[in-house]
Amino acid sequence: MRAVDVIRTKRDGGILSPAQIESFVHGATHGTWEPYQLSALLMAITIRGMIDIETAHLTRAMTDSGRRIDLSDIPGVKVDKHSTGGVGDKTSLILAPLAAACGVVVPMMSGRGLGHTGGTLDKLEAIPGFRVGLTTDEFRATLRKIGVAMISQTTDAAPADRTLYALRDVTGTVESIPLITASILSKKLAEGISALVMDVKCGRGAFMKTPPDARKLAQSLVRVGTANGLKIEAVITAMDHPLGHAVGNANEVEECLGVLEGKIVGPLLDLSVLLAAKMVKLAGLAEDDADGERQVRAALASGAARRKFEKLVAAQGGDLKAFRRRKPYPAVPLAPRSLGYVTDMDAEKVGRAAMVLGAGRFRAADAVDPLAGVTIRRHVGDKVQADVPVFDLHTARPEAVAEAAALLQSAYTVGSTPTKKPLLLETIAP
């Protein structure tokens, strides 16, 4: 099958056949299509779009470009959660042990941060000794032993996606909803899961900026996931403001421990419980969301979730005692520029400030400083007081403080009336 014929079909608005899609994915995996041919079809898909059946075939072909992990001999329903990324979005570290403590098997392949959004792997590696690069056998053994494992993507999981994603990043085709859908779901299907909860972020600090775009992506993920045999549900959650009070890596892990220990309440806890409850429901262990939430909150109150997290860290080589002995950088307080109530906070600017301080990457090859970051002392709806900083900055780069402080001072607004906005915007079910 000639690449040019496949490209022409989509260029002219046609529907690609399964054979044409398989030729494209095979070409990306084995190099039988030139990069410029792959890029041409990616652009044609971005402009012309795909119907659901095309996206479902693309997802399946990308999954089958590598090896699917077989978890069928491990008892229990395997459920994962995926977020499209945001500032302070650390729910995976909370909900994975929460769901596992309720009997769900949680195989989680996560990513690293790039740009203003953080990555689960970087947060986990802030714990001394924590190994995210488990072999498949180690991954399976950890799941069998404690019911949860959190690792980096294996080299043979959906290899076509690595090639195509690298091209999308430099050809202006990242925004295509069919391509986003296939990229996310192909990696998730390769994990060996049978159910998935999607958290589609929406707002200034998210990839999808508007509710209509977020809804289109969530609906596509649910329809295509269902067509590929997944039990799947999606929520759309607000990401105009950072989630939680910590933005960085070690400080986000510390905040997660506070939640699991029952010391921290608020939106971070609420969203983690909501997502974990849906995981319990999709695993068939709860009748509905309310029953799932009761089980999740019981696991939190009893300490079972905290103990599950401790077992996870130990199983993957981490040392929580050493983590707790770390010496954080001295806080550089940022005084308020006016008094009143915080009425808005730009998540993207807060994320960019954390990057400048060393907590994130400008390029994929950049190193991350696990101790760098931002602590948010006054969030949306909080009263701004003269003697309380709005932010604390943590960094080993004194030369970066002025730039980060300028970003943070421009990131929030102060008004005379407290405001609160909903975190959960919509639920998308099959």
Report, as residue numbers or ranges, the catalytic residues. Answer: 82, 161, 168, 183, 187
Q: 63 with 133: CB under 8 angstroms?
A: no
Beta-carbon count within 10 A of 96 CB: 30
Three-class SS of residue 149? strand
Beta-carbon count within 10 A of 70 CB: 10
Largest Cα–Cα separation, the chain: 70
Q: How far is CA 426 from CA 166, 201, 243, 414, 422, in A?
A: 31, 11, 17, 28, 10
Q: Which amino acid is it at 106?
A: V
DSSP state of 330: P
Q: Where are the beta strands (DSSP E) in 115-219?
A: 148-152, 195-202
Helix 52-63 to helix 159-171 angle (10° resolution) is 120
Q: 149 with 107: CB under 8 angstroms?
A: yes
What is the total residue count of the chain?
A: 430
Three-class SS of residue 162? helix
Q: Which two tokens stand for residue 62?
A: 């990308």
